Structure 1
Amino acid sequence: MAGTMHVPRTRGVLSGVLLVLLGLWGGLLPFVGPYADFGFAPDDPWVYDTDRLQLSIAPAIAVGLGGLIVLISANRAFAMFGAWIAVLGGAWFAVGGLVATLWDVEGVGAPLGTSEGRQLAEQLAGFTGLGVVAVFLAALALGRFAVVGVKEARLNEFGEEKAEEAPPGQTDDTKKTQPIVRSSYGRYGRDSMNPPPPPLRESETAPEDQRVAGERGAGKR
């Protein structure tokens, strides 16, 4: 069982890197967005309050930390734990603004855009769309780490040394399922079980047939 817990570090590289980048984006957007006039009020960078802590910084840490664990972990259980952290962080990005109103959290601020399209883009980039993408990537990582590959199964059953000696493309299951060579004593080889008797020697041959009286040439030699 211990062998199946080990996974290649490259399995979660793509998902892990993207999750780390999404966490950085979500955590920094409310603070550095005003530099590009893209973000949330007030129109000043690096403004901190508890609302931004709850709705932006906390889920950003969860997504980034989960992505980092997925990126560097070679243990299946630990990597899946990191992916679940990223799932929770992404879900909080998507719905945290609505849920937090239960304890009177006003939000990170109004979007800075003046048009409806610009405001929609800011909401998607900072919260809803960001959270959906983070959940998707984390779920993708969960699926990849939940599958036990052929290499891990081979290492678990026979050890690393035998796995390296096995030729590429041939698993131990294929070795066990090689067709059995039929011997000549199978269903269609019954004659080989009762071989014909050896030919008689000249001295043991049957005597010459005698002619019956009345037949043509009877009595003649």
Structure 2
Amino acid sequence: MNVDDNVSADRGPALRIPRSRGALGGLAVLLLGIWGALIPFLGPSFDFAFTPDDSWVWTSARGWLELLPGVVAIVGGLLMLASRNRLVASFGGWLAAAAGLWFIIGPFLADLLNIGDVGEPVASSDLKRALLQLTFFYGLGALILFFAATSLGRLSVRSARDIAFARREIDTRTVQPDTRGAVVETPGSVETGSRPAFGTQPRFNKPGHA
């Protein structure tokens, strides 16, 4: 086995990781992204919304500040969850981090960037107002950032488990059974991987002759 083309046998391919490496963070980011993308359109149906408090009403602010980062978080979570390549999973982690950051700072930049008004929380108490702000923007973004950062930290460290996984993949790809060299025995001869020529028959000594 020639491992010099990749890396040494003690290290294995540095970019190969078990799929479970980013599974927890990826799943959490995926679910949070789905929540962030859909809640502005579904929330009004159970009195949990920002104005305008009508279900499935499109506004520029909802598109830029909620749907866009939600979709980016979904894509990042899927990459983190499904990829066995360290670079691809890390890219998904950075996408998720960007989405979480935008959930937090987007409402503050909406007027400056002229992308629409986020609206007012539909709430009759300070507690519900705070809950809406946390679950739609600031708390949601902080949670996505947390899971993205922890996953990126895990992906940046090459553990013994990663090395063992990579070496198993090398062994699976390179150690293949070779039946072409099977030993074939014929009377009076032993040949490796070859057959007697067509029409030739094995010779036997007659009784009484050397």
TM > 0.5 fold call: yes
1:127 to 121, 137, 152: 137
1:72 to 70, 82, 88: 82
Summarize the Cα distance change of 1:34–1:55 in structure 2 as closer, same or farther, 3 Å threshold.
Answer: same
- The yes-or-no answer on 1:153 pairing with 2:152 is no
Alignment root-mean-square deviation, CA: 1.9
Summarize the Cα distance change of 1:89–1:146 in structure 2 as closer, same or farther, 3 Å threshold.
Answer: same
State the one-letter code of the partner of 1:107.
Answer: D
- The yes-or-no answer on 1:47 pairing with 2:34 is no
Per the alignment, in what secondary structure is the counterpart of residue 20 of structure 1?
helix
Q: State the distance in 2 between where 1:113 and 1:19 align.
A: 27
Per the alignment, in what secondary structure is the counterpart of residue 4 of structure 1?
coil
Residue 101 of structure 2 corresponds to 91
State the one-letter code of the partner of 1:61.
Answer: V
Q: State the distance in 1 between where 2:107 and 2:34 align.
A: 19
Q: State the distance in 1 between where 2:17 and 2:167 align.
A: 15
Deviations, residues 35-81 of structure 1 (Å, cap 9, x unaligned): 11011112210010211111001110111110110000000011000
State the one-letter code of the partner of 1:12.
Answer: G
Residue 146 of structure 2 corresponds to 136
- The yes-or-no answer on 1:107 pairing with 2:117 is yes
Deviations, residues 61-118 of structure 1 (Å, cap 9, x unaligned): 1111101100000000110000000000000001111122212234332111111110
Q: State the distance in 2 between where 1:82 and 1:159 align.
A: 23
- The yes-or-no answer on 1:35 pairing with 2:15 is no
State the one-letter code of the partner of 2:30.
Answer: V
- The yes-or-no answer on 1:13 pairing with 2:23 is yes
Instruction: Give 1 or 2: higher helix fraction.
Output: 1
Give the deviation of 1:20 after TM superposition: 0.7
State the one-letter code of the partner of 2:47.
Answer: D
State the one-letter code of the partner of 2:159.
Answer: G
- Contact persistence 1:26–1:56 (CA under 8 A): yes
Residue 219 of structure 1 corresponds to none
Q: State the distance in 2 between where 1:158 and 1:8 align.
A: 11
TM-score by length of 2: 0.72
Summarize the Cα distance change of 1:114–1:159 in structure 2 as closer, same or farther, 3 Å threshold.
Answer: closer
Q: State the distance in 2 between where 1:20 and 1:59 align.
A: 12
Aligned residues: 162
Summarize the Cα distance change of 1:13–1:159 in structure 2 as closer, same or farther, 3 Å threshold.
Answer: closer
Q: State the distance in 2 between where 1:44 and 1:158 align.
A: 55
Q: Which 5+ residue runs of structure 1 have no aligned equivalent?
A: 163-221
Of 90-99 and 152-161, deviating more is: 152-161
Summarize the Cα distance change of 1:92–1:161 in structure 2 as closer, same or farther, 3 Å threshold.
Answer: same
1:62 to 52, 72, 87: 72
State the one-letter code of the partner of 1:128.
Answer: Y
State the one-letter code of the partner of 2:51.
Answer: A
Summarize the Cα distance change of 1:159–1:33 in structure 2 as closer, same or farther, 3 Å threshold.
Answer: closer
State the one-letter code of the partner of 2:73.
Answer: V
